[in-house]
Copies of this chain bind each other. A is one copy, B any other.
């Protein structure tokens, strides 16, 4: 295992120390492994928290800041945070306007966020709403998930709900918007290589030199099938066509197109992939109003990519464009 780490069991705790040192706007609760905005809570603003296993950086801690998340709970690598973490974050970010939990659809995350929401309500009377993202069209059930997995759309939910909260909208409105983004978004991923979990010390799955995993999950869960290595143009079609068919997206729809790297893939390949995705979308008569190209929801060192499409309305577009200032996404502020 070749990684820039010390003890495998200390990776998350030590990375949090680095985030704290690099980003003076953020506050870290090291005991609870929570990354907060330094200026939270703000009276009247709905709080938004997320969290999940580590290893998907910049998701979620890199999205804490103005216009996005108020806090992110970091679990150990590929392991859900515990309810106490989510409860502590919920309490801290609540200003009285309530808190939205953004939860990717993995069994552990869903269960623990539910428990935290119940504890928050019983204990301190904080109003909590939850959005469970489930945008991955690859498979219906998978390792650790009943139903579809929550993947790339989570980034878009956090941005758009975050902008709505910043505008002072109510908890119900923010939660409804988050649900809309999830409902209008679809994703699919592909791995060229496995990732390696530090504590495991070896690749999560074996993949031949001439094979790819189509529909892979962000922890290396099996996808739809093993396929032979293919050119980027064919890979783009393998990812985009199932996404388009699923919503379905229709000619004339306006979309946000998000080409994501899985952690070990360089930017030159992502831009090349984006060109292929863009050509397919144009061929289907879709209008790409906004794009995002980069590694925003990753699987440690996995080489590969995922594509997420979000059908946009003027309202969603305006919220996407609204100011954001986080370590990983920043514009207009």
Contacts and interface: CB of A to CB of B under 8 A. Distances in A.
A271 B3 contact: no
Nearest to A305: B4
A268 B192 contact: no
Contacts of A300: 266, 268
Given A2-B229, A15-B268, A22 B274 contact: yes
B2 A209 contact: yes
Nearest to A229: B2
Given A265-B301, A272-B4, A331-B330, A21 B291 contact: yes
Q: Of A21, A295, A305, which is in contact with the most chain B CB atoms at under 10 Å from its CB?
A: A21
Nearest to A331: B330
A201 to B, nearest CB: 12
A41 interface: no
A271 B232 contact: no
Interface in A295-333: 295, 298, 300-301, 303-305, 325, 330-331
A3 B274 CA distance: 14
A272 B232 contact: no
Contacts of A298: 266-267
Contact of A2 (B14, B57, B192): B192
A319 B21 CA distance: 21
Contacts of A330: 330-331
A11 interface: yes
B231 A55 contact: no
A35 B229 CA distance: 31
A231 B271 contact: no
Interface string A9-32: 001101111110110000000000
Interface in A209-233: 209, 212, 229, 231-233
A291 B233 CA distance: 38
A293 interface: yes
How many copies of this chain does one complex carry?
2
Given A5-B231, A268-B300, A22 B331 contact: no
Contacts of A2: 192-193, 209, 212, 229, 303
Contact of A11 (B14, B268, B293): B268
A203 interface: no
A124 interface: no
Given A267-B298, A272-B18, A231 B58 contact: no
Contacts of A231: 5-7
A109 B238 CA distance: 39
A18 B263 contact: no
Given A2-B209, A4-B305, 16 more contacts: A2-B212, A2-B229, A4-B192, A4-B265, A5-B231, A6-B276, A12-B268, A17-B275, A18-B270, A18-B271, A18-B272, A18-B275, A18-B278, A264-B266, A268-B300, A325-B331
9 contacts: A5-B269, A6-B272, A14-B272, A14-B276, A15-B272, A18-B293, A57-B271, A264-B301, A301-B303
The 7 closest A-B pairs by CB, nearest first: A18-B271, A18-B275, A4-B269, A18-B274, A57-B267, A2-B192, A263-B266
